[in-house]
Amino acid sequence: MYRAVCVVLCACLLLPALRCENLLCYYCPLQSNGKVCRPVLSECPPQELCSTARGRYGGRVVLSARGCLSKQECRLEHVISYKGTNITMSYSCCDWHYCNSGSRITVHSALFALAVATTIILPAWAR
Amino acid sequence: MGKFAIWAVLLSALVVCSSGCFQCLVNVDDSLRLCWGHVLTKYDIRNVDSCFSTIDRIFNRKERVIQAGRVGGGYDKQLRDIMYAEIMPLVEEFDNKLNADSVYEDRLQTAADNFVAEAYKLPRATGCIPPCGFQVSGSVYNCVTCLYDSCEYPLDCPTRDLVVQENNSTEMRCDVQFSLPRDIEIIWRFAPEVRTQQVEQFGLVTVGEDQLYSIPSARLHHMGTYQCEIFSQQYSIIRTYHHLTVIPQVLVAQAKLQGIFNMALLPGGQIPAQPAVPPHDLGPTRSSWLLSLPSPPLLAACLTALLLLLFLSLGFVIWWMKIIRNQASMDPVTSIH
């Protein structure tokens, strides 16, 4: 019984796509890479993921943005005009809450550790 | 391939270009505050992304707004003030409150219309004056690049030529056709002997505010190129060049002497006290000397007269000697003694 609850909890934490509610992602408009945004959360429409965008100019990352993006767009690379300069944009997407906070790996690891801890500790505590 | 092309087209329509008057003039924090409570009514979610898309559609991708933003040099601050006057009331009103996307749409559209109307009242650029120099008054603000479009003239002006005789005075002016800013610094540099615009060949002469460079008595070592560079707030605005040629005194004196000689050769000529313009080279003087010769018939007549006079005098000498000889033969005593 508890094991089942834990599995569901894990699934909820790691795969929000399975749930009915929409993803909550950080939003920051397209701007020079390295500039910090005040943290603003945005709720994505269904079928959209949290994304981190990087704009490259001659191999160097010059722009960055965060927000929601459709699954199809996540895979694509394209060229945009930013202040008169052509920038190649590429995206990386993730599908759990706040996953595009910037320190993507740490958040992911923290969530993963929490999930693992819950899975192990909860059944032990329940017995 | 075809599928990819369709996606690419779709994407290009979706892509946020993010270049426009709003993005240039409003800082990110204010726009985030404005968009915080944007509710996407279709899904009933608070979605900031779509608010920025709306801003982009209303302000940034509209040619009308970009045209309104094309103000003259130095007026971007006023343009910013106009934008803030329209946006800040909305930011305050929407701060930490949820509002439907339709509300945002209407209010932002009104703000954009007001911005366009007000921005058109700002002075436009006066135009660029060729051929050189960085002209602030001629530049136009561009809401796509968030920068001023310059006149795109080179900093270096074409070289002007100056000729001066040795020991005479000369002066050069660092004149520009367009209006200069108030706080300017002028640097004069000199490249001896050569005619050049190569920066490394110049050596520093003076730094200050003087637009006039004066040489009271030109010497041969003053020959070369003079560069005047004008700075405004550490930025170079324009570089003008004067190439100075000094004619040596020897040549000047020779030319003067030639002039006086010519005057003396003229029929009935008088040497004026000060010849107006002494000739510089020998070519024209030689031809004027030829021109001052009398006509050939007159010359022939003169020569004939001279020869006639010579023969007549010779005849007279022979005749006179004959008489002397006759007198001697008639008086033998005198001849013996």
Out of B82-91, B259-268, B310-319, least confident range: B259-268
Domain coverage including residue A117: 2-126
Give CA–CA dist B289/B280, Å, rounded. 15
Mean pLDDT, rounded, for B181-206: 93
Q: Chain B residues with CB inside 8 Å of A33's CB?
A: none
Question: How confident is the model over A93-104, as pLDDT tens digits?
Answer: 999 999 998 764
Q: Which of A58-67, B144-153, B184-193, B198-207 bottoms out in mean pLDDT, i.e. has the lowest?
A: B144-153
Cβ(B216)–Cβ(B169) below 8 Å: yes
* Packing angle of the helix pair B101-119, B48-55 (nearest 10 deg): 30
Percent of chain A residues topping a pLDDT of 70: 65
Q: How confident is the model at residue A122 (pLDDT cuts 50, 70, 90)?
A: low
* Backbone CA torsion sign across A83, A84, A85, A87: positive
Q: Closest Cα partner for A46 from B10, B104, B9, B40?
A: B40
Nearest CA in chain A to B49: A67
Reported as half-sphere exposure (CB side, CA atoms, 13 A), residue B321 has a value of 6
Per-residue pLDDT, A36: 86
The C-alpha atoms of residue A53 and residue B102 are separated, in whole angstroms, by 28
A22 and B45: CB-CB below 8 Å? Answer: yes
Residue A58 contacts B where some CB pair is shorter than 8 Å: no
Number of domains in chain A: 1
CATH assignment at residue A37:
2.10.60.10
Q: What is the mean pLDDT of chain B?
A: 84
Distance CA(B222)–CA(B162), nearest Å, equals 12
Give the pLDDT score at A120.
Answer: 63
Identify whether B161 is part of a domain: yes
Question: Is residue A29 a contact partner of residue B18, using CB atoms and an 8 Å limit?
Answer: yes
Please give the pLDDT value at position A19: 53
A82–B17 CB contact, under 8 Å: yes
Q: From the CA of B44, how many Å to the nearest CA of chain A?
A: 9
pLDDT digits (tens, 9 = 90+) for B41-77: 999 999 999 999 999 999 887 889 999 999 988 889 9
Q: Is the pLDDT of residue B20 over 90?
A: no
Q: What is the DSSP letter of B279?
A: -
Q: Over 60: is that where the pLDDT of A84 sits? A: yes
Residue B186 scores a pLDDT above 70: yes
Of B211, B226, B247, the one marking the end of a domain is: B247
B28 → closest Cβ in A29, A76, A81? A29
- pLDDT of res. B10: 42
CATH number of the domain to which B171 belongs: 2.60.40.10
On the question of pLDDT at A1 being above 50, the answer is yes
B9-18 average pLDDT score: 45
Burial of A44 (0-12, 13-18, 19+ CB in 10 A): buried
Angstrom CA distances, B62 to A6, B111, B143, stand at 53, 13, 11
Pair (B115, B160) in one structural domain: no
Asked whether the beta carbons of residue B47 and residue A68 sit closer than 8 angstroms, the reply is yes
Provide the token pair at B117. 């109307």
- pLDDT digit string (tens) for A3-55? 665 555 555 555 544 555 789 999 999 999 888 888 899 999 998 999 999 99
Tokens of B249: 């005194």
pLDDT of B200 above 80: yes
CB < 8 Å to A82, chain B: 17-19
pLDDT category of residue B163 using cuts at 50, 70 and 90: very high
Tell me the pLDDT band of B13, cut-offs 50, 70 and 90: very low
**Interface contact flag, B52 A68, Cβ < 8 Å:** no
Indicate if the pLDDT at residue B336 is higher than 70: no
Task: Tell me the DSSP string of B220-276.
Answer: GGG-EEEEEEEEETTEEEEEEEEEEEEE-HHHHHHHHHHHHHHHHHSTT----SS-S
Per-residue pLDDT band at A116 (split at 50, 70, 90): low
Helices assigned H by DSSP within chain B: 2-14, 21-25, 28-35, 48-55, 63-68, 76-94, 101-119, 249-265, 282-291, 296-330, 332-336
Contact B131, B153 (CB under 8 A): yes
Q: Which of B61, B58, B63, B66 is nearest to B110 (CA)?
A: B58
Partners of residue A84 in chain B, C-beta under 8 Å: 19, 142, 144-145
- Reported as a pLDDT band with limits 50, 70 and 90, residue B335 is very low
- Buried b / exposed e over B16-37, threshold 16 CB at 10 Å, is bbbbbbbbbbbebeebbbbbbb
Number of domains in chain B: 2
3-state secondary structure of B28: helix
Distance from A8 to chain B by nearest Cα, in Å? 25
The verdict on pTM exceeding 0.90 is no
Domain membership of residue B98 as a residue range: 8-119
Most B CBs within 10 A among A20, A22, A37, A42, hence the mutation to make, goes to A42
Instruction: Inform me whether the C-beta atom of residue A29 falls under 8 Å from chain B C-beta atoms.
Output: yes
The per-residue pLDDT for range B116-139, each reduced to its tens digit, is: 999 999 988 877 888 898 887 778
CA distance A83 to A75: 25
Least confident of B11-20, B70-79, B117-126, B163-172: B11-20
Q: Which residues of A touch B40 (CB under 8 A)?
A: 45
* Pairwise CA distance, residues A63 & A83, whole Å: 11
Q: Is A115 exposed, middle or buried (0-12, 13-18, 19+ CB in 10 A)?
A: middle
Side-chain-facing half-sphere of B289: CA atoms under 13 Å: 11
Beta carbons of B115 and B83 less than 8 angstroms apart: yes
Angle at which helices B249-265 and B282-291 cross, to 10° = 10
Express each pLDDT in B209-239 by its tens digit. Answer: 889 999 999 999 999 999 999 999 889 999 9
Question: Closest to A82 (Cβ–Cβ): which among B7, B18, B40?
Answer: B18
The Cα B149–Cα B143 span in angstroms is 10
In-domain check, residue B324: no
pLDDT value, residue B249: 83
Whether the complex's predicted ipTM is more than 0.90 is answered with no
> Counting one residue from A and one from B, how many pairs have CB atoms under 8 Å apart?
75
How many Cβ atoms sit within 10 Å of the Cβ of residue A30? 23
In this prediction, residue B177 carries a pLDDT of: 86
Taking CB atoms and an 8 Å limit, are A83 and B11 in contact across chains?
Answer: no
CA distance B178 to B108: 40
- pLDDT of residue B330 exceeding 80, the answer is no
Nearest chain B residue to A82 by CA distance is B19
Which of B45, B59, B95, B101 should be substituted to probe chain A, the one whose Cβ sees the most A Cβ atoms within 10 Å?
B45
Considering only A85-89, B30-34, B285-289, which range has the smallest mean pLDDT? B285-289
Kindly state whether residues B34 and B81 are assigned to the same domain.
yes
Residues B109, B164 within the same domain: no
Question: Which residue matches tokens 């929409």?
Answer: A22
